[in-house]
């Protein structure tokens, strides 16, 4: 793994981030190596952070994709304020990436395509969960799960292969367009390597025009 930021000539930091994710994945030493935190803010300016899975990293255009329930708290906050931040941290490897940007809902076709790749248990769970809302008990959640199985005439998950379950309208993804990323490498005596990259993104009539060139500065540990 090429993690020597002191000698690196990085033109696209997302290529480096992609390399890090792939190398950590290949090591088979960390569950969910594509796991990241997503921070949003509520209407009072109070931050909320939770872990999600990065399901796509488009290094050329400069966005990453995660999926969620569009009725969840994170979605409500993103609909009110599309700006957010993300954090990848791999403690065993001494690597970290901090990202800032804004989100845009994925297209229906992209959502449908990804939803079709999920295992059927996860598809049913997406229909079942009214994410972040209160529930009386786990037993009630189980009852709701069974109701969805009955809705699609599924007797058991083992016998459900080949059953086509459509994506619910309230479930889908967000593309996070990255305007800033900081790559961090752990070093001795806390004399860490840090490089911050920024670029300009313009939005005109709903279309996104993102510069391919990144400006970079080294920052103190």
Residue range(s) occupied by CATH 2.30.110.10 in the chain? 13-116+171-218
Q: Is 78 exposed, middle or buried (0-12, 13-18, 19+ CB in 10 A)?
A: buried
User: Is residue 141 helix, strand or coil?
Assistant: helix
pLDDT per residue of the chain (221 residues) written in tens, 0 to 9:
555 676 567 899 999 999 999 999 999 998 999 999 999 999 999 999 999 999 999 999 999 999 999 999 999 999 999 999 999 999 999 999 999 999 999 999 999 999 999 999 999 999 998 887 788 888 888 888 899 989 998 888 887 777 889 999 999 999 999 999 999 999 888 889 999 999 999 988 878 999 999 999 999 98
Angle at 135 between CA 129 and CA 139, to 5 degrees: 85
Nearest by Cα to 80 from 125, 132, 44: 44
Distance of CA 80 to the CA centre of its chain: 18
Tell me: the pLDDT tens digits for 100-125? 999 999 999 999 999 999 999 999 99
Produce one character per residue of 110-149: b if its CB has 16 or more CB atoms within 10 Å, e if not: bbeebbeeeebeebbbbbbbebeeeeeeeeeeeebbeebb
**13-116+171-218: in CATH 2.60.120.10:** no
Tell me: the pLDDT tens digits for 69-88? 999 999 999 999 999 999 99
């Amino acid at each position: 793994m090429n993690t020597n930021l002191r000698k690196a000539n990085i033109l696209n930091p997302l290529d480096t981030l992609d390399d890090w994710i792939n190398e950590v994945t290949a090591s088979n030493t960390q569950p969910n190596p594509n796991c990241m935190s997503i921070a949003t803010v509520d209407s009072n300016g109070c931050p909320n952070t939770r872990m999600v899975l990065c399901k796509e990293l488009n290094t050329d255009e400069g966005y990453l994709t995660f999926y969620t329930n569009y009725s969840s708290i994170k979605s409500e906050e993103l609909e009110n304020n599309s700006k957010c931040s993300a954090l990848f941290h791999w403690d065993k490897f001494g690597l970290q990436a901090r990202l800032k940007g804004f989100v845009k809902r994925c297209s229906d076709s992209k959502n449908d395509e990804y939803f079709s790749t999920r295992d059927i248990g996860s598809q049913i769970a997406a229909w079942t969960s009214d994410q972040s809302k209160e529930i009386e008990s786990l037993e009630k959640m189980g009852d709701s799960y069974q109701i969805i199985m009955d809705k699609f005439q599924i007797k058991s998950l083992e016998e459900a292969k080949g059953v086509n379950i459509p994506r619910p309208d309230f479930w889908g993804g967000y593309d996070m367009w990255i305007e800033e990323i900081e790559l961090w490498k752990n070093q001795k005596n806390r004399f860490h390597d840090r490089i911050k990259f920024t670029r300009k993104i313009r939005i005109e009539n709903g279309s996104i025009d993102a510069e391919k060139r990144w400006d970079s500065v080294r920052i103190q540990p």
